[in-house]
């Protein structure tokens, strides 16, 4: 087991017979075993639970949180911060276009996946990918144009309107990204 969250566990798996019908899969993968609701939402609900195993690409770079800790309060190089921020913004745009809010964007939930590059150390660069959609929820605006989905996530990364008015929407994920960018640049949490 390489990880465990509130909605499932993640195991490292190796493809034993690469010359089979599964040759399009990478030889090393992460396998997530999780409970999923019958309603199809990203959040575990109390009705009709099923267990699913998902094959995911293995994030051998660890989490963004791990990388920030290694910086020992100095922060990451600006070029890395820009690259990771671009990746995260693309991911958030896709999530929001699909009508979802992540609700728990933080360095622990951003994984680093290697991508080939001729100009990087040991031939690899890392791309940031958003993970852990356990608290994500589909959102709709109410009559007053607000996003009502309740209070979810890690308090340190919550937007003021989430804490004060119990409102979360796409803008809440953008606030959380701002906190993450600050942490990448300084090596410290925005709230000390």
Domain boundary among 58, 77, 98: 58
Q: Identify the pLDDT of residue 151.
A: 73
pTM of structure? 0.76
CA distance 57 to 102: 20
Question: Which residues participate in catalysis according to the annotation?
Answer: 104
Mark whether 90 and 42 lie in a shared domain: no
List the domain range (segments joined by +) for residue 66: 61-192
Measured between its terminal Cα atoms, the distance across the chain in Å is 32
Domain boundary among 39, 58, 77: 58
Residues that constitute the known binding site for ATP: 32
Domain count for the chain: 2
Binned at pLDDT 50, 70 and 90, residue 12 comes out as confident
85-130 per-position pLDDT tens digit: 999 999 999 999 999 999 999 999 999 998 865 555 554 589 999 9
Judge contact between 139 and 171, C-beta under 8 A. no
Mark whether 143 and 65 lie in a shared domain: yes
């Amino acid at each position: 087991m390489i990880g465990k969250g509130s909605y499932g566990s993640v195991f490292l798996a190796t493809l034993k017979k690469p010359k089979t019908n599964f040759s399009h899969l990478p030889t090393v993968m992460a396998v997530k075993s999780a409970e999923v609701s019958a309603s199809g939402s990203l959040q575990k609900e109390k009705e009709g639970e099923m267990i699913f195993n998902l094959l995911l690409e293995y994030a051998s770079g660890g989490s963004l949180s791990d990388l920030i800790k290694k910086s020992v309060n100095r922060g990451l190089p600006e070029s890395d911060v820009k690259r990771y921020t671009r990746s995260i913004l693309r991911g958030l745009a896709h999530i929001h276009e699909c009508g979802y809010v992540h609700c728990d964007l933080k360095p622990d939930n951003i994984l680093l996946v290697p991508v080939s590059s001729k100009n990087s150390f040991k031939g690899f660069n890392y791309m940031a990918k958003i993970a852990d959609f356990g608290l994500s929820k589909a959102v709709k605006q109410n009559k007053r144009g607000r996003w009502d989905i309740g209070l979810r996530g890690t308090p340190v990364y919550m937007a003021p309107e989430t804490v004060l008015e119990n409102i979360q929407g796409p803008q809440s994920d953008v606030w959380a990204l701002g906190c993450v960018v600050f942490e990448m640049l300084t090596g410290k949490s925005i709230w000390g």
